[in-house]
A and B are shown apart, each in its own frame.
Chain A
Amino acid sequence: MKNEYIPHPAIIESIQRESFDTKTFTLAFEDKDLADSFDYKPGQFVQVSLLGVGEAPISISSSPSRSGLLSLTIRAMGKLTQSIHRLEPGDRIYIRGPYGNSFPLEEAAGKDLYFIAGGIGLPPLRSVINSVFDRRRDFGRIRILYGAKTPDELCFKDELQIWKKIDDTEVLLTVDTSYENWQGNVGVVTTLWNKTDMATSYGVAYVCGPPIMLKFVIEKLLTSGFKDENIYVTLERYMKCGIGKCGHCNIGEKFVCTDGPVFTYSQLKKFPLKDRAIA
């Protein structure tokens, strides 16, 4: 029987600053065999820890289609993530996983894909987006709608520019509060609906963001013709174990860690309203 609670040491290879409170850490497992065998799917998460500080679930922002290193994009928010932000390349961090289900890509083949993210919600979607771009011809047109509080808080700024240049791909950005040199849209992410053609009955949407955003984005998607089963949402919950035991992430009879974190809207709407899966 495997001991699922034992984390494995990984070395921070590089750190990319995304915004004033967000960094992307690229990691390599110390154990060669583990480094070679570690496999994950877009949408999955790992339990990240610093010994003596604590452990938290963090979604994987790198893509399995790009071999090699594991990337985690982390906002300094609580005790653990603030400590992680003080680390430097060469420092050690502990990882176990990957856990949870993933965004199914096979069902989306041939369809138009819509990625809608808010704030720190883009990292898990980036894992899917890059997997999709690595087999671009398998999918129809791609729209990426991304909103953050300020222009500085947009993650993956360089990559957003690269994505824009890919065939039949639109990247639409918005911020809640603009700076003087901001040329783009100002407003919540749903205000981007007017900037592009979102009407579809065969599109697949991938959504990640704060609960209040999920509520409004899902409403918009439904009025644009998206079917319940084609709206994929990844949820965030407080978690301690990642393996369906500690109980913290339960919603109804489901565990976000093992039954999710990715749910279709068909599943979400069956959740008890009072459990606030979406706002």
Chain B
Amino acid sequence: MKEMSLKKDNVKGLCLAACNQWETYVPIEEMGQDVQFVKINGKDKVFSLDNLNLDYQSLLIGPKVIGFPQLESLFEFRGGKLTETVQPPRKKLLFGLRACDLKGILFMDEFFKRSFQDIYYLNRSADRLLVLVGCKRPPRDCFCTSAKTGPFLPLAGSFDKPEESDFDLQMVDIGDVYVVEIGSRKAEEFVNTYSKFFDRASEKMVAQSKEAKCAAEQAVSLKVDFDKAIKNFCQDKVPEEIYERLAQRCIYCGGCLYVCPTCTCFNVFDETIRWASEKENVGCASAHQIQEIPSLSGEIKSVGGRRCRNWDACVFEGYTREASGHNPRYEKWVRTSRRYEHKLKYDYLTTGKSGCVGCGRCLSSCPVNIGISQVIEEVSKI
């Protein structure tokens, strides 16, 4: 299918029309100029698109939260009875992704599919349409051209080929109009379904889109030698001294890992609701249904609640601390080395891809100005 065009004036209409069929997520500017992906079709209403912002610089928390929320319930329990809280798969439209974030999503897909499949993540990502809006003004800290993850992604040669593009739709901003590239059969169906919003792109528009892509690529000013750094990591050429120096500055807040589009580590914990008396229990569950378990103080109390998982970070001291107190990664520099080697060595050895997509969020969110780009740059010069 040839390139299409979408007038900027039509974007809101398209999203509103699509949200009848698709659970639709779009970047919305919140108060204070933070932009984040928001589901526009809530339980009973469709949220306003007045604050839709497709020109955002960077999202503080990327779209990884859509598949892997910061906190989620694995199951609920009451009276010794478990209730699964896994969501059934729903068609999802992610509209307005940046190329680096899209690469991050694909990286996470692969991880959660590996060996034991993670039903919570995979159900959320089962049927998805990924609409990329390429960066026009790349943020200062990003280095996607070095990581080969943007600002635009290549379109596969033809649909008869088995390999499809990473995106379903890729939109290139050329002024009042987006030129829309179609990367999958699913995307082709989508465009046909909502054809009233799309037009054929003229040859002039396509030419303009190519220029816009080149301009965006040139606007990415931060460049690092990614391949050389990965090679040095894989050949164990990185001296401990680099990590020790970083460890002196790092405050181990874990922020860089929470915002990282490929970080998947989580903690699991139980949250309990305790009823002090029969009275308070009315409307929850009958007393005999509630499993009685001994609490730490040895008292028997009625317990209901849920098992949850939430994001965790390998730089935390408690991350590897065992019940006995033994902690194989007690030392800070060892945790720092894990943090960078996981992304730039182990991910590469396991998947053939780097775990860093070059979004630069770790640097922009760091209170002490450490970013993976600096580490890559230093290691590439060894």
Which A residues fall within an 8 A CB radius of B? 1-7, 9, 49-56, 77-83, 86-87, 92, 210-211, 236-238, 240-241, 243-248, 250, 252-253, 258, 272, 274-277
Contact = CB atoms under 8 A, between A and B. Distances in A.
12 contacts: A2-B117, A3-B84, A51-B307, A53-B270, A54-B269, A54-B270, A55-B268, A238-B321, A238-B322, A241-B268, A247-B266, A250-B346
B264 A247 contact: yes
Contact of A276 (B84, B112, B329): B329
B20 interface: no
Interface of B: 74-75, 77, 80, 82, 84, 86, 111-112, 114-120, 122-123, 240, 264-270, 272, 291, 293-296, 298, 303-305, 307, 309, 312, 314, 319-324, 326, 328-329, 334, 337-338, 341-342, 345-346, 349-350
Nearest to B325: A77
Per CB-CB distance, the 4 closest pairs between chain A and chain B, nearest first, are A78-B323, A247-B265, A243-B116, A276-B328
A245 B114 CA distance: 9
A52 B112 contact: no
Contact of B118 (A211, A238, A245): A245
Contacts of B334: 274-276
Q: Which of A2, A86, A210, A238 has the most CB of B within 10 A?
A: A238
A58 B112 CA distance: 24
B323 to A, nearest CB: 3
A237 B328 contact: yes
Nearest to B121: A245
Contacts of A274: 240, 334, 337
Given A56-B323, A210-B326, 14 more contacts: A5-B74, A5-B119, A50-B293, A51-B80, A51-B82, A52-B270, A81-B323, A238-B320, A240-B268, A247-B314, A248-B312, A258-B115, A274-B334, A275-B338
Contacts of A240: 266-268, 309, 312
B293 A52 contact: yes
A244 B342 CA distance: 14
A1 to B, nearest CB: 5
A244 B294 contact: no
A53 B272 CA distance: 8
Contacts of B319: 238, 248
A52 B303 contact: yes
Given A77-B324, A236-B322, A248-B312, A2 B119 contact: yes
B293 A51 contact: yes
A240 B116 CA distance: 14
Contact of B75 (A6, A9, A80): A6
Contacts of B345: 253
A51 B312 contact: no
